Structure 1
Amino acid sequence: MNKLEWLNGLSLEDAQAELLRCCGSHRWADAMARARPFKDVPSVYAEAGWLWSQTGPEDWKEAISHHPRIGDVEKLRERFKASGAWSEQEQKGMEGATEDVVQALADGNREYEARFGFTFLICATGKSAREMLEHLRERMTNPPALELRIAAGEQAQITRLRLEKLLTSP
């Protein structure tokens, strides 16, 4: 049985749980689980994108709340058991980061959360710690409504990558 057949064959509750690993919005995961069966993998991605476009600020904040802070690799497996291994892979750019960059990310994360009320979110795959820090600093000047939309866009990218992992991992 391939992974698409597996996803299509799960119970509603089990499908929701698997999809929540990809995106922490319950509304999105429920809609995705109910959209099954999918005819092919591109249909999964298309539906995921369309359903995400139907969500709003509260859904985005819920999804963002399911992510660890960038650089907080110690907390990944502890708090985010369902998606911790994926988060750790996505934050590979933290490996080899200098102490000053790690500290600047920690400080920047706190400032960001104080300003916007949610965790800084970036699709970290392929980005170094220094690049993530640069993005964090650039985004600090955004108006709150714009920043939330940017974070929602980052979530969409992360969701796509995680769906790919869900449908291809053994």
Structure 2
Amino acid sequence: MSQQPSAFPSSRGEEPTLSSDSDAGLPHPARPSHLALPAQTTASPAGPTAVPKPLGPAGAPQQPGLTLFNSATDEDALAALLACCGSVRWAERVAAHRPYPDVGSLLAAADEAGYDLAPADLSEALADEYPAGPHPDAPQGTHVARALDAAHAAYESRFGHSFVLHLDAYAPEEWVDEILTGIRLRLNHEPDQERVVSAEQLRLLARARLRQTVAGPRAATTAPWPGARTAR
């Protein structure tokens, strides 16, 4: 896949996942009835492109990032989606349903593709993830890095892939505690149970990254997380 620069800001961030401590370690309930957007970037979109403003179903202006995503080449759309989730099949399914009338429809398609990941697709996506790390705005120290390194090493030794955790619901200073707590709890899982939990956390991560991807130029000002993935 070529690595041409894209007009889209990227939205790939650190790896998080577990909505709350009470959910940690529980399988997700029953399923309901990566434009060359590399990982997160602080660069501005390439060039002063004139972006049309089509209207959504309710007459609301469509987000510029969604307009770019809808009109991108297949290659660029796949690159942007792979920056959100490393499964090629997931990216191909989401890209195939363009154009999307609104962001909600795009996220629903991403969720549907995430629920349908085959075991090989999930393994591919997890292999492309970086372990969750501290928020860049939170105080850090050598002891924090050592604790995280040891916890991630234990997790990867048991399950063979990076620990992923969606942390958007937590304040920056809470991330390290949530990561360490999540790893401690999930180390008790059997491998099959942990794959179920990891798949749900991966879906939440892909959804959050995709939402940021199509949020428009403002998303480009967001600093990347330490675990931000680079473009393929």
Length-normalised TM-score, structure 1: 0.82
Kept after mapping to 2: 8 A contact 1:101/1:133: no
The one of the two structures with greater contact order (alpha-carbon pairs below 8 A, sep at least 6) is 2
Question: How far, CA to CA, are the matches of 1:52 and 1:105 in structure 2?
Answer: 28
Distance 1:130 1:166 in 2: 28
Whether 1:141 and 2:203 are equivalent positions in the alignment is no
How far off is 1:99 after superposition? 3.1
1:112 aligns with 2:112: no
Amino acid at match of 2:191: P
| Worse-matched range after superposition: 93-102 or 156-165 | 93-102
- Once residues 106 and 70 of structure 1 are traced to their aligned partners in structure 2, the CA distance between those partners, rounded to angstroms, is 10
Name the CA distance, whole Å, in 2 between partners of 1:120 and 1:94.
21
State, as a whole percentage, how many aligned pairs show the same letter.
32
Structure having the higher helix fraction is: 1
Q: Note if contact 1:112-1:140 (Cα within 8 Å) is conserved in structure 2.
A: yes
Q: Name the counterpart of 1:95.
A: 138
2:187 alignment partner AA: M
Of the three residues 155, 160, 166, the one matched with 1:123 is 166
Mapped to 1, the partners of 2:137 and 2:189 lie a distance apart of 24
Gaps of 5+ in 1: 72-90
Change (3 A) 1:69 1:149: same
What TM-score comes out, normalization by structure 2 length?
A: 0.61
CA RMSD of aligned residues (A): 1.6
Cα distance in 2 for partners of 1:107, 1:25 equals 28
Which residue in the other structure is 1:86 paired with?
A: none
**What runs of 5+ residues in structure 2 fail to find an aligned partner?**
1-50, 52-63, 218-232
Q: Partners of 1:94 and 1:131 in 2: how far apart?
A: 16
